[in-house]
């Protein structure tokens, strides 16, 4: 079987990660780069053509599938053009700039019947698979509380790129917290209600730099989440899980803590705390670790995308998931703006 020819649209930070990952996966090959400004380095390193827009890529006929890793506000038009040309897409998150635009993209995907995998890469991480298996097996009981921290102090150079500063497509809620929302929905189901606060006090951009949200799940569990791209600290998935050693350190601490009616689990260390008998806060619990063999989730994601593009698998993270995650983020923003609860889902 010949290699699946994959084009990368958007050769920025994550585009470079995808290009490096494609080189590590058998059965796929980077076949082109599309970027109106950058990308010459990646194209040259891999010996593939560079195009300035998706139309030129499609005219050249050099791709069987594409990864869309351009700024958020370009996701819907670019992905629509690729789907209409019959190319399966691995689409970075957030899938659109608004829920309405995301729903329009779902309509294009349904009309064309061409698959979209959303780039919530953590779902391909064996840590997440181990946690999901334990939760699904009922080992924690029902979710009572979840605590999620994201201290993501970014260097000032990160904000040289205009789209990351604007309220339309930037901010740690849309760029980062959406990954946590995806995991929480994956583990615990849909979110019924949200209350949130957001602040731009530390960076002074239009968009928030810091936010706190309380999510009430349809199942009754309650989660508290804090996130900031101005807060210095080791408590975030990105800087504890060791997923992307080329970009991030892996501090030896936790980012997520789940407490159920029966037991507790933290991530990414997979520490599993359980009582010997009936739960009782006066009795010492035992600490174990859920078994897990580490693997690179970006590689797992590309392997899965190749299977999706070849028609051998359905997307593990669907476009509907991507839009549902955006609904929760929009509810967080609405609640923060209005000082009132907001409901993300049509339950």
Ligand X SMILES: NC(=O)c1ccc[n+]([C@@H]2O[C@H](COP(=O)([O-])OP(=O)(O)OC[C@H]3O[C@@H](n4cnc5c(N)ncnc54)[C@H](O)[C@@H]3O)[C@@H](O)[C@H]2O)c1
CB nearer ligand X, residue 161 or residue 283: 161
Phi first, then psi, for residue 52 (nearest 5°) are: -95, -15
Strand (E) positions, the chain? 4-9, 28-34, 50-51, 65-68, 89-91, 116-118, 143-151, 191-199, 210-217, 222-228, 256-260, 264-267, 271-274, 286-289
- The helix-helix angle for 178-188 and 319-338 (nearest 10°) equals 110
CB nearer ligand X, residue 163 or residue 273: 163
92: contact with ligand X by CB under 6 A: yes
Closest separation in Å from C-beta 231 to ligand X = 19
Tell me whether strands 65-68 and 89-91 are parallel, antiparallel or unpaired: parallel
227: contact with ligand X by CB under 6 A: no
CA distances from 104 to 10, 98, 117, 250 (A): 22, 10, 16, 38
CB nearer ligand X, residue 60 or residue 161: 161
Q: Which residue is nearest to ligand X (CB)?
A: 12
37: contact with ligand X by CB under 6 A: yes
Q: Which of 6, 11, 19, 326 binds ligand X (CB under 6 A)?
A: 11
Q: Which of 15, 268, 297, 315 binds ligand X (CB under 6 A)?
A: 15
Q: For residue 290, give every residue at least 6 positions away whose Cβ sits within 8 Å of its Cβ, in sequence order, or none.
A: 130, 131, 134, 265, 270, 272
Whether residue 277 contacts residue 283, with contact meaning beta carbons closer than 8 Å, is answered with yes
Q: Of 298, 323, 154, which Cα lies nearest the Cα of 227? A: 154
CB nearer ligand X, residue 71 or residue 344: 71
Q: Which residues between 288 and 307 bind ligand X (CB under 6 A)?
A: none
User: Residues touching ligand X: how many (CB under 6 A)?
Assistant: 24
Q: Which of 71, 88, 315, 322 binds ligand X (CB under 6 A)?
A: 71
Q: Which residues between 163 and 182 bind ligand X (CB under 6 A)?
A: 175
Owner of token pair 């049509």 = 346
Phi first, then psi, for residue 195 (nearest 5°) are: -130, 135
CB nearer ligand X, residue 11 or residue 263: 11
- The helix-helix angle for 297-309 and 13-22 (nearest 10°) equals 70
CB nearer ligand X, residue 149 or residue 174: 174
Whether residue 134 contacts residue 256, with contact meaning beta carbons closer than 8 Å, is answered with no
100: contact with ligand X by CB under 6 A: no
Q: Which of 29, 38, 168, 345 binds ligand X (CB under 6 A)?
A: 38
| Part in contact with ligand X (CB under 6 A); list of ranges 33-41, 106-114, 278-286, 313-321 | 33-41
Residue 303: alpha-carbon gap to chain centroid: 17
CB nearer ligand X, residue 79 or residue 266: 79
10: contact with ligand X by CB under 6 A: yes
The SS3 of residue 74 is helix
CA triple 73-109-42, angle to 5 deg:
50
Q: Of 217, 239, 222, which Cα lies nearest the Cα of 154? A: 239
CB nearer ligand X, residue 121 or residue 327: 121
Closest separation in Å from C-beta 15 to ligand X = 6
119: contact with ligand X by CB under 6 A: yes
40: contact with ligand X by CB under 6 A: no
The rounded distance, in Å, linking the Cα atoms of 344 and 347 is 9
1: contact with ligand X by CB under 6 A: no
74: contact with ligand X by CB under 6 A: yes
Closest separation in Å from C-beta 83 to ligand X = 15
269: contact with ligand X by CB under 6 A: no
249: contact with ligand X by CB under 6 A: no
Residues that bind ligand X (CB under 6 A): 9-15, 34-38, 69-72, 74, 78, 92-93, 119, 121, 161, 175
């Amino acid at each position: 079987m010949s290699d699946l020819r994959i084009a990368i649209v958007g050769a920025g930070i994550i585009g470079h990660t995808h290009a490096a990952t494609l080189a590590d996966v058998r059965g796929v090959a980077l076949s082109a780069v599309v970027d109106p400004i950058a990308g010459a380095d990646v194209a040259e390193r891999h010996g593939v053509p560079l195009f300035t827009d998706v139309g030129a890529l499609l005219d050249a006929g050099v791709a069987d599938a594409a990864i869309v890793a351009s700024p958020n506000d370009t996701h819907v038009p670019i992905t629509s053009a690729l789907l209409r040309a019959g190319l399966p897409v691995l689409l970075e998150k957030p899938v659109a700039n608004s829920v309405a635009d995301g729903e329009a993209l779902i309509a294009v995907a349904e009309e064309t019947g061409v698959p979209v995998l959303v780039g919530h890469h953590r779902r391909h991480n064996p840590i997440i698979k181990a946690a999901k298996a334990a939760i699904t097996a009922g080992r924690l009981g029902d979710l009572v509380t979840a605590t999620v921290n994201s201290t993501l102090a970014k260097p000032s150079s990160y904000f040289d790129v205009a789209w990351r500063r604007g309220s339309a497509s930037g901010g740690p809620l849309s760029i980062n917290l959406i990954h946590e929302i995806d995991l929480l929905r994956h583990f615990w189901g849909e979110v019924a209600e949200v209350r949130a606060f957001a602040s731009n006090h530390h960076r002074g951009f239009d968009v928030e730099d810091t936010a706190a949200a309380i999510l009430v799940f349809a199942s009754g569990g309650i989660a508290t989440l804090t996130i900031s791209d101005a807060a210095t600290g080791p408590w975030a998935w990105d800087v504890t899980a060791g997923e992307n050693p080329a970009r991030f350190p892996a501090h030896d601490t936790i980012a997520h803590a789940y407490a159920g009616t029966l037991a507790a689990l933290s991530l990414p260390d997979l520490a599993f705390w359980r009582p010997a008998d009936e739960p009782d806060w006066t009795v010492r619990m035992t600490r174990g670790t859920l078994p897990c063999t580490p693997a690179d989730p970006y590689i797992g994601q590309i392997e899965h995308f190749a299977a999706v593009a070849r028609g051998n698998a359905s997307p593990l993270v669907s476009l509907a998931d991507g839009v549902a995650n955006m609904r929760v983020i929009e509810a967080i923003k609405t609640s923060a703006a209005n000082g009132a609860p907001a409901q993300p889902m049509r339950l």
